[in-house]
Amino acid sequence: MLARAAQPAVLRPFLLIAGIAAIGYLVMQVGPATIWSAFRALSWRLLLILVFPTCLAVLVDTLGWRFTFLTPPRSFRRLLAVRLAGEAVNLGTHTASVGGEPV
């Protein structure tokens, strides 16, 4: 029997293949031409639709964090960097949404 720590490393390639297969299946069901025509129709606006709401949410969330401290951090940019580092830890580890808070 494999040790618990080794199990995720063993499963990772299989999960990657399963994810790629699922995306491939969905692309074939919708049709590559349909997807490409949607990208062409949206052009640069697709980037705006995908990126702008997320950036706005991150900025507002960082502003909210700034107001939680009695003495605000040195700069908004530094607080944004710290917030993004914590978010990266949250997304990159198995600690759900609490692992990046100590960061």
Q: What is the mean pLDDT of residues 37-62?
A: 85
What per-residue confidence (pLDDT) applies to 74? 82
d(CA 13, CA 19): 10
Q: What is the mean pLDDT of residues 43-60?
A: 85
Q: What is the mean pLDDT of residues 22-32?
A: 93
If one counts every other C-beta atom within 10 angstroms of the C-beta of residue 82, the result is: 15
pLDDT band at 75 (very low <50, low <70, confident <90, very high): confident
Q: What is the mean pLDDT of residues 17-30?
A: 93
Residue of 43, 103, 55 whose CA lies nearest to 79? 103
d(CA 45, CA 39): 9
What per-residue confidence (pLDDT) applies to 1? 46
What per-residue confidence (pLDDT) applies to 44? 79
More confident position, 88 or 93: 88
Q: Report percent pLDDT > 70 for the chain.
A: 83
Residues 6+ apart with CB under 8 A from 73: 66, 79, 82
The rounded mean pLDDT for the chain is: 81
Write out the two tokens for 22: 């699922």
